[in-house]
Structure 1
């Protein structure tokens, strides 16, 4: 509330020195003026009457006076203690003061017509018809003894008919005089017709008071004011605290329920307690902001303070609600619009390594020479941003600010290296209202590279008898530029063989190694194969090695059988017999033959031998004797 009143005063003073005021003569009961005790105290004057519209947060406006009358008396000296009791006579050193009116003052909410009655708690400050007020806290008034005043309001007119033995005007005057006694040390003359009534009210109050401050309806917005650029950037959030839903009223701005500005609120929309709001300025209207409103019961004893919205009026009398009533309570936020501009940062990424760089950050530090304030903005270009231009615009910078642009993080990583320093043109810009300045930050990146080497180890008892071995290197570079096929010739002996190094592989490339042909054949089988590691990520300036190890063992021969020429049996010179090959296969020195072909060959050999023997015998028989 204090911020709203101070802001309203500032706005009033920034407009015309004094708004148009209508001076009305002869409006009976339409004005109460309470002056300085050393000047004209509370003289009743019908003029001036303020016809200013209510402020953004005005909750009540003085419309006139209610029941009451003129009183006479004096203000006791500052060392007088009202809590000691009502004096029998005017205390020595008192200053005479005869208010032209003592009684109730009428108030009304001009927007809704809700009205109420108040008393004055500030004898030495003027107020007038048309002065605008808002609800406040006791602590804001700096008025003493309000707990005792609260007791009076709970037990006397207009909450009750007490003191009931006199007219309504005298009741109101007696109650007001009792309040002034506690707040301003005001003592009635001994001849005053209401002196005994006032003294009795004070005695009852001192004996049974004080009472506690009444609870005010809860409705507030935090913060209550915020600077907003003329360029229309969204500011916030504003948090709503309330004990019930309220409706919104907007002046010169747009209000949203999200920081992106998607869900806009309009006049009359309901805002629930706890809602967070964002806003942006869309006009030159002054003042501009939003107001939340809700009708609530306001208890007697609630204070009303000048809200500062009457041009030319710096201060006004403090009031206190005389009885419980319904009023529209208001809260909200004011946007303080300021002239602003912006700067567009163009991030230019060049070079063969473009697209592989890390995150880049650009700092924009702006200094406003008019206020001495600084703004710090950070532009972030995500890792892997493609080659070319990337634009980012920063708005809402106060006009006249000087902004310095730097690049603290350049995007170097294990895949790319930045060539030289970033080129920033220009490195400093001056912000102009409603314009966008431009600056370009250029980085050139080289692709970092590493090497890949594969070594092949052959071992085991079967080493040297294996067939051809093929190892494949596959890298995720488009076009297969760094893919390789390494061939180990058949029969290569046991040892470790380094394959040609693959150089210049871009850092960050992912490569895998596999053995597409293992070298197994009829002589050997692959007992064990290891690839360590199976995949790698190439690092800049590093040779990544992959080891492929194959262990070969001889295949076991099978067990077979055969028959010797001449038939079955094991007799010497007979045709029977058998041969056994380990594992059922032929020995390693010969080729394998199918069983049928082996039997046929054996039979042919036997028959050939038989024929040879027969021929030889025949020839022997025909040889002539000597």
Structure 2
């Protein structure tokens, strides 16, 4: 099927007479000047003598078409042109002249010579010739600057559009090619053809105002272009796509096999036609190294702006000028991908535990880094108490593996000490690394709280508490006399979890003015990573008010007397003992009362005698 370029609708023709003339001029030039490439270095249709093609060749140069032989001027060095600089009115003084053909180069498909296409060159300093082969490539591979402006020109000028208007096809092609070379090489035309020069300047100004445009999609593509895999495994997936094509022919070298699944169970026969978008895995010999293993080929409609690169199959040419497709064409396009099979080993990571609180930790996480493309994350559930083993396969021999533990499982109740990171080098026999976590209960704190309450709070004397623990702690907590009602606290920290502590009253604060009702001693067990509270309350009441109260009282008190008077009670038990154990103050009080009674009786009798 012929491309739109070979259609007679354009009313264009080949120019055998012009080609012959150009050939004669070129031969004469070779006699008097050193061998030096002109702009496209393709001034006639004579093929290069040793032109060759290979399995990667898609198209070959067949000749030239519309265009003119003109003189252009190139910068003294191969600089990257600034695409924003306006086209100069004349070539700068230090530019060097070059004469040659400026226009369209024709090509044909190697598989179907009737499929032809038209190209512009995009590197004016690099030679090319009829018969040299090309393959499709990416913009980045062409290493040509400002290619987005070039594609804008292709989309809006000859041959895609009959423009600039008012010019002959030869002038249109020459102006389009010279404008392209301004963006890729900085080329500036001389004054020998004012019409072409003015048209070139107009094209450049339009491209500067409206470009650049994005790279067109590759006609046939394999993604990714390269895959690394352990020797003996399946490399992939490769995804093959073709622009507008229903099917793509895929093939591999004789020692390789294609599959449609990662497990390599469903084989794809070599040179098969598969739908665009098919995923492919490849196995091959265990030999290691990088090798081109997958080729995809399809007859597709190739969009203008696609890049074609020298195929490297002509011995006398170490390089050849890259070309850009001037307009949409029907071509056989190819894409290739490589695989690097490498020697690999297996990483074993052991996660071990020690310590008195194993199993009480939270969730943990290991991060394994064995180089780019070989990073893994392993989560470990909370409460794990036995050694866990994890395996990671397909790691290249010689890679360094490091295991870190960003999440250890430490909580408020338990502390975890890890011996990560662990590091080693992968060998063919494999690599084993062990990360051990030591889990212990976190220490806690004892918070002693003394509550002072009661209507006489603030009148008590100093209060003293003792805190003793079975880990050896023996401390006191003193509250000065006159402390007002409220809570008073003191904390004793860094106590091992499970420690038993007893808090007892040493001095209640009772005095001659107040009595104090104090709580019994309190014993608590220290919780891990927490504050354990021991709370004791002292209720402070006035001495008189306490006389009719109940409960165990400490300090002085009062007892009621006949007639409602009250006298101080001795400190000690609330009720007096009886019998021989009666306290001496009470006996003295009884003797005093009896003596007073005797005196009163004597006085009464004396008064009666006097009266008689």
Structure-2-length-normalised TM-score: 0.44
Structure-1-length-normalised TM-score: 0.44
